Amino acid sequence: MYYGVKSSCCGPGESLAWRQARDQETTHPVPVDVFENKEGEYVIRASLPGFRREDVQVEFEDGVLTIAATRHEDRAEGAAPTTRYYLQERAQGRFERRIQFEKASGEAIRAELKDGVLTVTLARLKEAQPRSITIE
Amino acid sequence: MSDLIPREVLSFPSMRNLMRDFFSDPFFRDHGLAADEGNLALDVSEGKEGEVIVRASMPGFKREDIQLHLHNGVLSIKAESKEEKEVKEEKFYRKERRWGSVSRSVALPGNLDEGSVKAELKDGVLVVRIKPSPSAQPKRIEIK
């Protein structure tokens, strides 16, 4: 996380090399919002700026939602690998996030990527209604 | 001598278990502490022919939400998202993404032609390109 502008603005330094090395090895987390919509479904919103549909994978298995993505926009734009960075705060490489749901069903899962925001909708598992038994 | 009362010492395996239990606790497991890219993460790089390229992560923002100014080599980005108002009534389980207004100013390197700015918003990334000022090119001076 580089908040300082001046310190990292003046050409590639040690911190940048370190950052790039770390980017290659690390899986970056994806910030998410999870809420319930009016229909009672779970809605997961993940910030994935710069990702295209083909870069993003969404899986739901055993109650765990996995969002995985790889960013390589610089390569896609045909920029030389020796591009000089004055400031590099945006992480590159692999991003992943797992979220566990206790009461979600993957049957009607929907996912949409728009303006760099991934929206996944999961239905809630219907809870078994308590059944009253008449004693005869 | 009360401090000599024997008590159970945490052995290595149990300490390990403790750590494992701690980190596998749903509250900590996928906590978004590190999930924050900060207030408007930026990349500033040099493109072809000295062009300066600024990339800003602005997921969820629309073109009309963003105000962009370039003055005396300082680029200012200011944005206000309307998404927040839309989902105000929902029940939240987790809220890590930054909403509302973000702003950032960054001093750009070099002598730039401020009239040549081009900005584009695509897939939640704002890309600003500024060409170097013609006066920044080395000028050949003829010796009389």
Which residue of A8, A10, A36, A89 is the best one to mutate when testing the B interface, meaning the one whose CB has the most B CBs within 10 A? A89
Where do we find the tokens 């206790």? A102
Pick A49's closest partner by Cβ from B36, B87, B123.
B123
Of B32, B62, B109, the CB nearest to A29: B32
Closest-CA distance of chain B to residue A42, Å: 9
Residue B129: list chain A partners with CB under 8 A: none
Q: For residue B16, give how far its alpha carbon lies from the nearest alpha carbon of chain A (Å).
A: 23
Which residue would you say has higher pLDDT here, A16 or B65?
A: B65
Q: Which of B55, B91, B123 sits opposite A36 (nearest CB)?
A: B91
Closest CA to B70 of B141, B22, B129: B129
Q: Is A82 part of the contact surface with chain B (CB cutoff 8 Å)? A: no
- Tell me whether A51 touches chain B (CB under 8 Å): yes
The ipTM (two decimal places) reads: 0.70
- Among A86, A96, A99, A117, most B C-beta atoms within 10 A, so best to mutate, is A86
How is residue B140 written in tokens?
Answer: 């050949």
Question: Which of B25, B45, B61, B89 is the best substitution to test chain A (most A C-beta atoms within 10 A)?
Answer: B45
If you measure CA to CA, which chain A residue comes closest to B32? Answer: A31
Show the DSSP H helices in chain B as ranges. 12-24, 26-29, 83-86
What are the structural domains of chain B? Answer: 35-135 (2.60.40.790)
Instruction: Say what the pLDDT of residue B9 is.
Output: 52
Q: What is the pLDDT of residue B48?
A: 82
A51 Rama sector, left if φ>0, alpha if ψ -120 to 50, beta otherwise: beta
Interface residue A99 vs chain B (CB under 8 A): yes
- Cα distance between the two ends of chain A: 69
What tens-digit pLDDT sequence spans chain B (144 residues)? 555 665 555 555 566 666 665 655 545 444 433 334 456 889 999 888 889 999 999 998 999 999 999 999 899 999 987 765 556 667 888 888 877 788 899 999 888 898 899 999 999 999 999 999 887 677 788 898
In angstroms, what CA-CA distances link A74 with A98, B43, B52, B55? 26, 11, 14, 11
Q: Which fold has domain A14-76+87-124?
A: Immunoglobulin-like (2.60.40)
Residue A102's alpha-carbon distances to A127, B24, B90, in angstroms, are 11, 15, 19
